[in-house]
Amino acid sequence: MVPEIILNNGVKIPSLGLGTYQLRGKNVERVVSYALDVGYRHIDTAMAYTNEKRIGTILQQNDVPRADIFITTKLWNIDHGYEAALKAIETSLQKLSLDYVDLYLIHWPVEGFIETWGAMEEILASGKARAIGVSNFMIPHLEKLLATTKVVPFVNQIECTPYLHSREILEYCKKRGITITASSPLTRGTKLDDPRLINIASNYGKSPAQILIRWGIQHGLVEIPKSTQEHRIKENIQVFDFMISKKDMKELDGFNEDLRVHGSSVHKKLAEKYLG
């Protein structure tokens, strides 16, 4: 139902998944299990979201075969360094009750990410992750990483919407075969009442959220919207039965206002550090 994108090592990633940031408590079970019921086969979590254990419980209870589900998790900032990273994947796997994750990402480019990447390569070789990648890496971080590593990250998970359309990093990653997963693809809801977006959505009989997701899909991004509400979880996956026209894509592309809804101050600090 959801088209897949082939990563540089041949691993297929569903182009749409469920985001789970701030999904906690009983909500995790309800939301993840409902998402699987309506066709989601890709779940995005992280050690820092503290919901891996509950997601693991649902994966065990659910009838969908493990091979049909794509699980991404991320190494947290306190787990950088070679030995710590090797330990961190074990902890995540244990919490998720899994033998392997499909994608393991470095959550943020904090100090020590080069040493950590050495461990990521080993995690890939051992089969504990089918693919490895990074998150929140801007061009200077990627430059630093690529100068010293053997394996080029298969994925970079960064914020990307029509309102934060950073063409330079998208182009940079595309040239190097790095697939982009767009975090906060719905701008955390902050732009869903933009009249220009509502106007485009009405042309297709779709919601503003569906237009934002479809925009990313048509740009070749992996989209991971999060919702706690059943009708929205369902709505967010119903984006494969229409195409946004070239003209409307162009209009959406022009919405850029460098709006970052997540971690903008951390981002600035990390960018400045590596820009020297």
List residues with catalytic annotation.
49
Residues 256 and 164 sit within 8 Å (Cβ to Cβ): yes
Contacts of 29 (CB under 8 A, 6+ apart): 54, 57, 58
Q: Please report whether residue 225 would count as binding ligand NDP according to CB under 6 A.
A: yes
Count interface residues toward ligand NDP (CB under 6 A): 28
Q: Please report whether residue 157 would count as binding ligand NDP according to CB under 6 A.
A: yes
Region binding ligand NDP by CB under 6 A among candidate stretches 111-119, 140-148, 219-227, 250-258: 219-227
- Exposure class string for 162-178: b at 16+ Cβ within 10 A, else e: bbbbbeebbebbeeeeb
Give the Cβ contact number of residue 242 at 10 Å: 14
Q: Please report whether residue 209 would count as binding ligand NDP according to CB under 6 A.
A: yes
For ligand NDP, which residue has the nearest CB? 19
Give the Cβ contact number of residue 214 at 10 Å: 25
Q: Minimum CB separation from ligand NDP for residue 262, in Å?
A: 4
Q: Please report whether residue 224 would count as binding ligand NDP according to CB under 6 A.
A: yes
Q: Please report whether residue 51 would count as binding ligand NDP according to CB under 6 A.
A: no
Q: Which of 226, 237, 248, 270 binds ligand NDP (CB under 6 A)?
A: 226
Q: Which of 183, 214, 215, 217 binds ligand NDP (CB under 6 A)?
A: 183
Q: Please report whether residue 229 would count as binding ligand NDP according to CB under 6 A.
A: yes
- For helices 208-218 and 230-237, give the axis angle rounded to 10 degrees: 40
Q: Please report whether residue 220 would count as binding ligand NDP according to CB under 6 A.
A: no
Q: Which of 73, 92, 135, 156 binds ligand NDP (CB under 6 A)?
A: 135
Beta pairing partners, 74: 105
Q: Please report whether residue 236 would count as binding ligand NDP according to CB under 6 A.
A: yes
**Residues 17-36 vs ligand NDP: string with x where CB under 6 A?**
--xxx---------------
Question: What is the contact surface with ligand NDP in residues (CB under 6 A)?
Answer: 19-21, 44, 107, 135-136, 157, 183-189, 192, 207, 209, 224-229, 232, 235-236, 262
